[in-house]
Chains A and B, each alone.
Chain A
Amino acid sequence: KQEVTQIPAALSVPEGENLVLNCSFTDSAIYNLQWFRQDPGKGLTSLLLIQSSQREQTSGRLNASLDKSSGRSTLYIAASQPGDSATYLCALVDYKLSFGAGTTVTVRA
């Protein structure tokens, strides 16, 4: 069974600071890894998908890295804004998504 861990569970930063969100997994024989954002009571918004053959993926202020040998992925959000406040989830992708518990981020104005 794939175990996905996200630490810390919650994070509070001042506006403008760069965010670093961690995701670790036990099974290195993964297919792909996907990062999501979830606002309270809402569905999941896909942020980035990293193919298993890639080491990183970028979209605007977001950059995600993948290191299969160490079982880690990191999501970087540059110059955080209050609108970035949400819960961020990572998920291993094969026939299903195996999710971590998420990191809840608060960006203080």
Chain B
Amino acid sequence: KAGVTQTPRYLIKTRGQQVTLSCSPISGHRSVSWYQQTPGQGLQFLFEYFSETQRNKGNFPGRFSGRQFSNSRSEMNVSTLELGDSALYLCASSPLEANNEQFFGPGTRLTVL
């Protein structure tokens, strides 16, 4: 079974631009969560989607948004990029509920210049 995939793996953007990251969960998994990892803040929860609905959201500004499609693939979007948005963005999928075992993708490394 293929694991969680994320595209692109690396991105370089400039301040003020917007970016869209994509995540394909493990086949059959319906819950997709997004996390931001930085050296200073560690791993922080962004949001979780289940059956195309955002069920939970972390403490991030409205510039961070996401969605999930009927095939469970998910995208997250960051608008008006700031230097502090430079991070590793990780996607995790889970079979049913979010409190099941989580499986992570390789991440997207975003650098904002």
**Residues on A facing B (Cβ under 8 Å):** 31-32, 34, 36, 41-46, 49, 89, 91, 93-99, 101-102
CA separation between A34 and B92, bound complex, in Å?
A: 13
On whether the beta carbons of A97 and B35 are closer than 8 Å, the reply is yes
On whether the beta carbons of B107 and A32 are closer than 8 Å, the reply is no
Q: Which residues of B contact A99 (CB under 8 A)?
A: 42-43
On whether the beta carbons of A96 and B56 are closer than 8 Å, the reply is yes
- Interface-centre pick from A32, A89, A96, A98 (highest chain B CB count, 10 A): A96
Asked if B18 is at the interface of the complex by the 8 Å CB criterion, the answer is: no
**Residues on B facing A (Cβ under 8 Å):** 4, 6, 33, 35, 42-43, 45, 48, 55-56, 58, 88, 90, 92, 98-107, 109
Q: Which residues of A contact B35 (CB under 8 A)?
A: 97
Of B58, B99, B109, the residue contacting A93 (CB under 8 A) is B99
CA separation between A44 and B104, bound complex, in Å?
A: 6
B29 to chain A, nearest CB (A): 13
Can you name 5 A-B pairs with beta carbons within 8 Å? A45-B104, A93-B100, A93-B101, A96-B56, A96-B58
Closest to A92 in B: B99
B35 to chain A, nearest CB (A): 7
On whether the beta carbons of A44 and B109 are closer than 8 Å, the reply is no
CA separation between A44 and B101, bound complex, in Å?
A: 12
Q: Which residues of A contact B55 (CB under 8 A)?
A: 95
CA separation between A96 and B50, bound complex, in Å?
A: 12
Q: Which residues of A contact B98 (CB under 8 A)?
A: 93-96
- Interface-centre pick from A43, A45, A89, A101 (highest chain B CB count, 10 A): A43
CA separation between A31 and B99, bound complex, in Å?
A: 7
Q: Which residues of A contact B48 (CB under 8 A)?
A: 95-96
Closest to B47 in A: A96
- Interface-centre pick from A89, A97, A101 (highest chain B CB count, 10 A): A97
Q: Which residues of A contact B45 (CB under 8 A)?
A: 96-98
A7 to chain B, nearest CB (A): 15
A87 to chain B, nearest CB (A): 11
Closest to B33 in A: A96
